[in-house]
Structure 1
Amino acid sequence: MVFNPESADFTNLNSEEGMTNELLDYLQHQPPEVLSRVAQSVSGEIRQIISHNVQGLVGVLPADGFSVQVSTDRENLAGLLASAMMTGYFLRQMEQRMELETNLSSSLSSDLDSDLNPIDKSKAEE
């Protein structure tokens, strides 16, 4: 599922707040390919965490024994969606930080290994 600002009903958002929402304007001018690429860059791990988080907020009962119906109003649903989005952005940033730290750590350890075990250049050239 990809966010599509053109099909979403955000027409009253700017008038309700009395000011221009710059982020909304920016999103509306993005090509669908960019939005799709951003949406697809989320890992399965992040999707799983967000799904678990939303299920915890809404409440989860086993499907085989219960038929659950959730009702809410527009403001509460918007808050839930905003929370899920912010969680996703936070988790993606943390995932990128973890990847960076792992790569940096690997790079530093390989540099240390090469400093501790120098290769004789004359043997390496042979």
Structure 2
Amino acid sequence: MNNELNRSQNFFNHENETGESLWKYVQSLSPETISQLSKPDSAEVFQVMERNIIGLLGNLPSEHFGVTVSTSRDHLGKLLASAMMSGYFLRNAEQRLNFEKSLQAINSSTQDEE
């Protein structure tokens, strides 16, 4: 993981001005890192992300319709950014929920001891 951190720091220290820096950064990541970043920890977060992306693309069921999506590179980039932001938001919400549950468990165990 330190190798990935060094690569990230080097990348951003030499960031280019072409507007494709995010894409080049993603391409520079190892397959293991991309896999780790791409998978939510819980099935519930995965389902919410899936519903969000389906909502962005349109929600015709593919088993009943031959759905084809065509778009420009710019619009695809915006879709990707939207999906990533939703994923980060959901991950942060999941972490906060787990943190609050942990605090409640600690509070209830300390109250039981009194």
TM-score by length of 1: 0.64
What is the aligned-residue RMSD (CA, Å)?
A: 2.9
Consecutive unaligned residues in structure 2, runs of 5 or more: 1-14
Which aligned segments of 4 or more residues in structure 1 are displaced greater than 4 angstroms? 24-27
How far does residue 61 in structure 1 lie from its aligned partner after superposition? 1.5
Whether 1:79 and 2:43 are equivalent positions in the alignment is no
Equivalent pairs counted in the alignment come to 100
Q: Tell me which protein shows more helix as a share of its residues.
A: 2
CA contact (8 A) 2:40 2:91 kept: no
Go from structure 1 to structure 2 and tell me whether the alpha carbon gap of 1:69 and 1:38 turns closer, same or farther (over 3 Å shift): closer
Go from structure 1 to structure 2 and tell me whether the alpha carbon gap of 1:27 and 1:114 turns closer, same or farther (over 3 Å shift): farther
Q: Distance in 2 between matches of 1:63 and 1:41?
A: 24
Identity %: 41
TM-score by length of 2: 0.70
Consecutive unaligned residues in structure 1, runs of 5 or more: 1-12, 116-126
Q: Distance in 1 between matches of 2:30 and 2:57?
A: 33
Task: Report the AA paired with residue 39 of structure 1.
Answer: S
The equivalent residue for 2:90 is 91
